Copies of this chain bind each other. A is one copy, B any other.
Amino acid sequence: MSTQLTPEILSTLEKQSIEVPSWAYGNSGTRFKVFGTPGTPRDPFEKIADAAEVNRLTGLAPAVALHIPWDLVDDFSKLRAHAEDLGVQLGTVNSNTFQDDDYKFGALTHEDAAIRRKAIDHHLQCVDVMDETGSRDLKIWLAEGSNYPGQADMRGRQDRLQESLQEIYARLSDDQRLVLEYKFFEPAFYHTDVPDWGTSYAQVASLGEKAMVCLDTGHHAPGTNIEFIVMQLLRLGKLGSFDFNSRFYADDDLIVGAADPFQLFRILVEVVRGDGLNNPDVSFMLDQCHNVEEKIPGQIRSVLNVQEMTARALLLDRDALGAAQRSGDVLGANAIMMDAFYTDVRPALAEWRESRGLPADPMAAYAASGYQAKINADRVGGAQASWGA
C-alpha cells in the first residue's frame, strides 16, 4: 500500500462517518419541475434501504437523518429495527415548518400565538420521535421570513423565535441537542429569520450548552469565506453539525465537492485545525438534491468526496505550514496547502478500502450490484417520495 496515507491518517479516516438524509433518495427538483425516476422509494423503509446500500459499499454512512412529517411511521421501533437490520442507525431528526398552509407567514416566529403553539408542538413531537429512534439531534431549519419590506416585524419575530426555541429546548433530555441552521435566503426573498451564523449563534447561545449551530455549506452570500465560519464556530464551541452540499449560485444543493473542491478542502483543513474531525460534538451530514443525476450513486459519490478531501486535509504538513506562516513566507505556506490538495489520494484510498473488505471502487460496485435494477422492478405502484412528501 502507498505510504502516502500513514497509519495515523488511515486510523482517523476509519472513524469518519457521514450521516445521509432520507430525502436525498426521494425525488427533488426546482420550482419549475420535479423529475421522477425509476426505483424511487415510496416510504421511509425503502429510503433507509437505499441509505444502507450507500453504507454497505462505502463504510462511511452509518446513520440516516429523518425528516418529520415526511418520515413519520406508525411505529418507529419497527423503523429502527429495520435500519439496524441493514446496519445503519436513525440519526438527526429534522422538523418541517414550511409546508403547512398555516405557516405561510411564519411558524416559530408567527404573530399569532396559536400558530406558534402549533409549530412548537410539532417540534415537541419531533423530540418524542427522537426518544423512540434514539436520535441525539433535533435540527431546525427555519424557512421563515418575508418577501416584501414592511411585510414583517423582523425584530418582534426574533424575540418570538427565542421564546419558541426556549420551550423546545426545555423539552430536550440531557443527551439530546438542538441544532439551528441558518440560511441566506429562500424560500423567503426579502428577509429570513435566521439568515447568518451570527444570528444562529446569538439565538443558541441564549439557550444553553445543548444548543448548537448547523452550518449548511450552501447557505451563504456569494463570496463568503465559509472555512472562516467553520473556524470561528469551532473556536466558540458552537459548531454542532454540517450540512454538506455544493453550489455555484444560490442554495443549489449539488453534490458536495462538485462546484468548488478546493473550498471543501479548505473547510476540512479548518475542521482538522479546530479538532472538529471525529469529534462527537460535530456531526457530518449531507443535505443535497439529486435533481438530474441518479440518487444512490449521487450519495455514494458524495460520501467519497468527503472522505477523499478529508484524506487530503489530513495530508497537510501542519508543522511546515506553521513555520512558513510564522516566517511570512506567503508562497511557501500556500504551496504546502496546494501540495496536500493536489495529491491524488484516490489510488491509496481504493487500496485501503479493499484491505477492509470494501469495494475499491464503490461507484462501480454499485453499478455491478444489480441493486438499482431490483428496485426499479420492485418499486412499482404507490407514490414516489419526493421533496415534500
| Chain A residues with a Cβ under 8 A of chain B | 28-33, 35-36, 98-99, 101, 104-105, 111-112, 143, 146-155, 158-159, 184-187, 189-192, 195-199, 201-202, 220-225, 227-229, 231-232, 234-236, 247-250, 252, 254-255, 258-263, 266, 270, 273-274, 291-294, 297-298, 301, 321-322, 324-326, 328, 330-331, 333-338, 341-344, 346, 363, 387-388
Contact = CB atoms under 8 A, between A and B. Distances in A.
A35 B104 contact: yes
A280 to B, nearest CB: 20
Given A35-B101, A293-B147, A155 B274 contact: yes
A189 B152 contact: no
Given A260-B262, A344-B344, A334 B148 contact: yes
Contacts of A30: 31, 186-187
B147 A254 contact: yes
Contacts of A146: 292, 330
A350 to B, nearest CB: 13
B155 A191 contact: no
A267 to B, nearest CB: 11
Given A31-B29, A225-B190, A235 B158 contact: yes
Given A35-B104, A195-B225, A232 B346 contact: no
B328 A104 contact: yes
A344 B328 CA distance: 28
Contact of A325 (B153, B235, B250): B153
| Among A191, A331, A342: residue with most chain B CB under 10 A | A331
Given A104-B35, A333-B150, A231 B158 contact: yes
Contacts of A292: 104-105, 146-147, 151, 330
Given A150-B338, A155-B270, A190-B259, 20 more contacts: A29-B187, A30-B186, A32-B99, A32-B388, A111-B328, A147-B254, A148-B293, A148-B331, A148-B337, A149-B266, A149-B337, A153-B322, A155-B234, A196-B198, A197-B198, A260-B263, A261-B338, A262-B262, A298-B331, A342-B344
